[in-house]
Amino acid sequence: MDVYEPSSGAQIHDLNPSDYHPTGLFWTIAIPEEGIQVNFGEGYASVRARNVPIFDYGTFDNAAFGGAPRTPGVVSYRVVWSGINHRVNIRNTDPVFGGFAGTFVRNSAQMEWTAVTDDYIFVSAPLATTKSEFAELGRERNGFFFPQDARWE
Amino acid sequence: MNWELARTARGQLHDHRHAGHAHSWPIVISRREFVRTATGAAAAGLALGAGVWTPGFAGVRKNGEKENEEKSIAPVPIPGGSPGLSPFHVFGPTPDGSFDPIDAEPITITDFNGFVGLAYIDGTVQRTNKHTGEVRTLPMIGSDMRFMAGIYRGVDGRIHEGAFALV
């Protein structure tokens, strides 16, 4: 979650679970499967997680590069994807950006969340008041499940 | 993650490299992170060797009640990453391609087959200072939320079922 100072536009909170796990996973955590509902045909998904351990790094710079203190906390959130603006089939074999294939729905998403850190309590506005700059749902396969061989297609 | 900030950070990373005072990523992400990761890896060597991944579940509770005791096998990160942010294993697909192309890999793990979601979300949040009681309403901009739910091949080389999120 990225929170800003309205007057200056400066970022003042960056809540994420980054702990640079030795395998190199980027800000990725396991969450209970029970919290996820998907109706891909309808372009709908709901993801709910509770008490996810995070740190408030203050800024993205600090989260990415370090150098300043961070504050531990937990966040609970619910994200809902809905609607279908359009569907796209992607088979991306680009050596930089690709290595996966799937069907995607470009749509909208909304979120509500709460967080508690050592210093602050955060309670977002209701889900219905939020909007997405970009959102997509997909069913994809990559790596081991995407041999870049046309025989799979 | 706000990708506008990431774009700025990408520039800073280049500045660091060009300035010649940051020759490897572990130093860039800070000595503190590097030391902690290295120490943690050494201390947890047995667990890592067994492929048991606990950090993601360390504090996640089901139904707000009981500590989730399940252990998840760590997934493998995608091999690549956004140019300029390497070796962070993540892309930032954007509709106008201003950061990464819209059709760039949207998830952070590889050897995966399942449902995924990505969203950059704007809204507001009410923040209460626990020490002073001050309450403010602040904008949330471009929060990057993703999920992955399906089957994956873990670091143990075996196929598992699981769910993950980028927060």
pLDDT one-digit tens code per residue, A63-90: 888 889 999 999 999 999 999 999 999 9
- Touching check for B2 and chain A: CB below 8 Å? yes
The answer to whether residue B101 scores a pLDDT higher than 50 is yes
Between residues A21 and A80, the one the model is more confident about: A80
Q: Which segment, A26-30, A96-100, A118-122, is predicted with the most confidence on average?
A: A118-122
Domains of chain A, by residue range, sit at 2-152
State which residue of chain A sits closest to B88, comparing Cα positions.
Answer: A26
- Touching check for B23 and chain A: CB below 8 Å? no
The answer to whether residue B67 scores a pLDDT higher than 70 is no
Ranking A42-51, B25-34, B82-91 by mean pLDDT, the lowest is B25-34
Three-state SS for A72? strand
The answer to whether residue A137 scores a pLDDT higher than 80 is yes
The reply to whether residue A65 touches residue B56, judged by beta carbons under 8 angstroms, is no
pLDDT one-digit tens code per residue, B45-55: 222 222 333 33
pLDDT one-digit tens code per residue, B12-47: 554 443 333 322 222 223 323 322 332 333 333 222
- Contacts (Cβ under 8 Å, ≥6 apart) of B162: A30, A33, B72, B73, B75, B149, B150, B151, B152
* Cβ-Cβ contacts under 8 Å, A5 against chain B: 138
| Pair of tokens at residue A47 | 């993801």
Q: Would the ipTM clear 0.85, i.e. be above it?
A: yes
The answer to whether residue B4 scores a pLDDT higher than 90 is no
Task: Indicate the DSSP class of residue B100.
Answer: B
Mean pLDDT of A136-147: 95
Between residues B68 and A99, the one the model is more confident about: A99
Interface test with B, best of A96, A107, A121 (most B CBs within 10 A): A96
Q: Which of residues 35-94 of A touch B (CB under 8 A)?
A: 35-36, 38, 40, 45, 47, 49-54, 59-61, 63-67, 74-77, 79, 81, 88, 90, 92
The answer to whether residue B111 scores a pLDDT higher than 50 is yes
Q: How far apart are CA A16 and CA B1, in angstroms?
A: 8
State which residue of chain B sits closest to A123, comparing Cα positions.
Answer: B126
Residue A12 backbone dihedrals phi, psi, to 5 degrees: -125, -15
- Contacts (Cβ under 8 Å, ≥6 apart) of A142: A99, A100, A101, B78, B105, B107, B110, B111, B112, B113
> Model pTM?
0.80
Predicted pLDDT of residue A150: 52
Q: Which residues lie across from A109 on neighbouring strands?
A: A81
